[in-house]
Amino acid sequence: MKTAAATLLVMMCVLGSARADSRKDSCVNCHSALEDARLLKPAQLFDGDIHHQAGLTCADCHGGNPNDDSMDAMSPAKGFRGVPKKSAVPDFCARCHSNATYMHPFNTKMRIDQLSEYLTSVHGKRLKQGDSKVAVCTDCHGVHNILAVSDTRAPVYPSNVAGTCGHCHADAAYMKEYKIPTDQVAHYQKSVHAEMLAGGDTSAPTCTTCHGNHGATPPGVKSVASVCGTCHVFFAQLFEKSPHQAAFAKMGLPGCVQCHSNHEIVRPSDSWVGTGPNSICSTCHTAGDAGLRSAQGIAHNLGRLDLAIAQADTVLDTAERAGMEVSSAKLELASANEALIKARVNVHTFLDTEVQKVTDPGLETAKKADQAGVAALQELNFRRKGLGVALITILVAIAGLYLKIRQIESKEQA
């Protein structure tokens, strides 16, 4: 019955959405005139709410009679539900949002499994156990001024998500009893993912990308690689076949996170590989073991190629600035760079031989580019020598002319 009435209401709204504002809503009319901020605020906020724009009124969630101007409008007899308790909020929202028939006319693509997902989450489980500090729908989506996810002002818009989660998770005092870290947001802000997001790439990962949104749960140790591997496909594939996979699994280490961290994921550097001061390999491997030897080999190969490219680049730059045409050599060098990129991917096989397979052809290309640059400089030298020869012949000719003039004119004067 209620469903039918609501559907009818919706149809009227959809057909005459322009008239939504003119439909009688005694709740808003009354509450807007109140002085108590707590009662005034919802009426003020509701104007921008997505539910309001879809044609819903206060009564559609809270019950009651919007046509009644008296206080009677809020009588339980008229179906008034009042303000739901925090623990009842998920069910309150799910009344509509988990109802496929109800939601379909509003948005055919909208999911209706948020509640069932939520119940699998840490938040949902703890809520059921009576913890009222955990997040419920309204904590993340807001209440009375709920915006679409695609609205940039929404607390759940990708670039706002970290702030929304951090509202609790970065509050050390609030989170004290849970004994989990509260520095995730701070770490995340330093990451390359946060940088991508700030740069406008909304496909960049934020908290919910890896943890899930409604079913928010930190990925277990075994599933870290799958989570990262959703985007970083090659690395996950290579890692899976590498000796680290079995070793990490045995030791209960979380795959990618072990070296790359979970929240503060920064741009990796070649210096992480090998035995240098920044080396991550050295944190587990000790001198003399096979792993460290492999790491040294990998670092050596990467370093060699990097150096060769830099060298060729310098030579070509010098030649270019001296006026020689070396654009095609520079383009060839770009493919050596490509080899370096691929080699860095192959680091995740953790086998020196695999990395060398890629760096060796890159070295060949870099060497060729270097040779082209040297040849250009040699040609420049040749030109200058040639010029010198030509200038000498010209000077001899000028000297000859000068002497001839003197000879002729001294003869004339004699």
Partner 1 sequence: MSLPEIPEKAGQPGRRWVNVLLGGGLAASVVSFLYPAIRYIIPPAVAESTSRSVVAAKADELKRNTGKIFKFGSKPGLLVRTSDGEYRALSAVCTHLNCTVQYRDDIHQIWCACHNGLYDLDGRNVSGPPPRPLEVFEVHVQGEDVVVTRKA
Partner 2 sequence: MSGLYRNALAWLDERFGAGSVEEFLRHKVIPIHRHSIWYYFGGMTLFLFIVQVLTGILLLLYYRPTPNDAFESVQYMMTQVRFGWLIRSVHSWSANLMIFTAFVHMFSVYFLKAYRKPRELTWVSGMLLLFIVMGFGFSGYLLPWNTLAFFATKVGTEMAGSVPLVGKWMLIFLRGGEEVTGATLTRFFGFHVAVLPGLATTLLAIHLMLVQQLGMSTPPAVEKAIAEGSEPRRIMPFFPNFLLRDMIGWYAALGALGALAAIFPWELGAKADPFAAAPAGIRPEWYFLFMFQTLKYLPSKVLFIDGELLGIFGFSAAALVWVAVPFLDRRIGFSRATRFFTGAGVFVIGYMMVFSWLALR
Q: What does the alpha-carbon distance between residue 141 and residue 96 come to, in Å, rounded to a whole number?
A: 16
Show the binding pattern over residues 264-303: x = contacts partner 2 (CB under 8 A), - = does not.
----------------------------------------
Q: Does residue 378 touch partner 2 according to CB under 8 A?
A: no
| 247 vs 403 by CB, closer to partner 1 | 403
Q: How many residues bind partner 1 (CB under 8 A)?
A: 34
Torsional class of 318: left (φ above 0), alpha (ψ -120 to 50), beta (otherwise):
alpha
Q: Does residue 21 touch partner 1 according to CB under 8 A?
A: no
Q: Does residue 387 touch partner 2 according to CB under 8 A?
A: yes
CA gyration radius for the chain?
A: 36
Residue 349 backbone phi and psi in degrees, to 5: -85, -20
Question: Residue 345's binding partner, choosing from partner 2, partner 1, none, with beta-carbon cut-off 5 to 8 A by kind?
Answer: partner 1
Residues 238-297 close enough to bind partner 1 by CB under 8 A:
none
| 53 vs 337 by CB, closer to partner 1 | 337
Q: What is the DSSP letter of 267?
A: P
Q: Closest by alpha carbon to 303, among 264, 282, 276, 284?
A: 276
Q: Which of 39, 247, 251, 391 touches partner 2 (CB under 8 A)?
A: 391
Quote the least distance from Cβ 331 to partner 2, whole Å: 13
Complete DSSP assignment for 281-302: GGGT--TTSHHHHHHHHHHHHH
Q: Which of 115, 168, 257, 345 touches partner 1 (CB under 8 A)?
A: 345
- Collapsing DSSP to helix, strand or coil, 323 comes out as coil
Q: Does residue 202 touch partner 1 according to CB under 8 A?
A: no
Quote the least distance from Cβ 385 to partner 2, whole Å: 10
| 71 vs 389 by CB, closer to partner 2 | 389
Q: Does residue 389 touch partner 1 according to CB under 8 A?
A: yes
Quote the least distance from Cβ 364 to partner 2, whole Å: 23
Tokens of 87: 């623990």
Q: What is the DSSP letter of 78?
A: G
Are the C-beta atoms of residues 309 and 337 closer than 8 Å to each other?
yes
Tokens of 106: 């509003």
Q: Which of 11, 33, 100, 390 touches partner 1 (CB under 8 A)?
A: 390
| 269 vs 393 by CB, closer to partner 2 | 393
Amino acid, single-letter form, for residue 142: G
From the list 46-54, 227-235, 364-372, 403-411, the region that binds partner 2 by CB under 8 A is: 403-411
Question: Residue 15's binding partner, choosing from partner 2, partner 1, none, with beta-carbon cut-off 5 to 8 A by kind?
Answer: none
Q: Does residue 128 touch partner 2 according to CB under 8 A?
A: no
Residues 52-81 close enough to bind partner 2 by CB under 8 A:
none
- Cβ contacts of residue 197 below 8 Å, gap of 6+? 158, 159, 204, 206
Question: Residue 323's binding partner, choosing from partner 1, partner 2, none, with beta-carbon cut-off 5 to 8 A by kind?
Answer: partner 2
Q: Does residue 393 touch partner 1 according to CB under 8 A?
A: yes
Tell me the CA distances in angstroms from 31 to 23, 26, 27, 138, one per residue in order.
Answer: 16, 8, 6, 21
Tokens of 149: 């996810």
- Collapsing DSSP to helix, strand or coil, 317 comes out as helix
| 155 vs 229 by CB, closer to partner 1 | 229
Q: Does residue 222 touch partner 2 according to CB under 8 A?
A: no
Q: What does the alpha-carbon distance between residue 281 and residue 304 come to, in Å, rounded to a whole number?
A: 19
Q: What does the alpha-carbon distance between residue 145 and residue 45 come to, in Å, rounded to a whole number?
A: 5
Q: Does residue 408 touch partner 2 according to CB under 8 A?
A: yes
Question: Residue 234's binding partner, choosing from partner 2, partner 1, none, with beta-carbon cut-off 5 to 8 A by kind?
Answer: partner 1
- Cβ contacts of residue 216 below 8 Å, gap of 6+? 121, 122, 123, 208
Q: What is the DSSP letter of 220?
A: P
Q: Does residue 323 touch partner 2 according to CB under 8 A?
A: yes
Question: Residue 341's binding partner, choosing from partner 2, partner 1, none, with beta-carbon cut-off 5 to 8 A by kind?
Answer: partner 1
Note the Cα 249 to chain centre separation in Å: 27
Amino acid, single-letter form, for residue 260: H
| 180 vs 394 by CB, closer to partner 2 | 394
Tell me the CA distances in angstroms from 230 to 154, 197, 203, one per residue in order.
Answer: 26, 18, 12
Residue ranges in contact with partner 2 by CB under 8 A: 323, 325, 383-384, 386-387, 390-391, 394-395, 397-398, 401-402, 404-405, 408-409
Residue ranges in contact with partner 1 by CB under 8 A: 233-234, 327-328, 331, 334-335, 337-338, 341-342, 345, 386, 389-390, 393-407, 409-410, 413-414
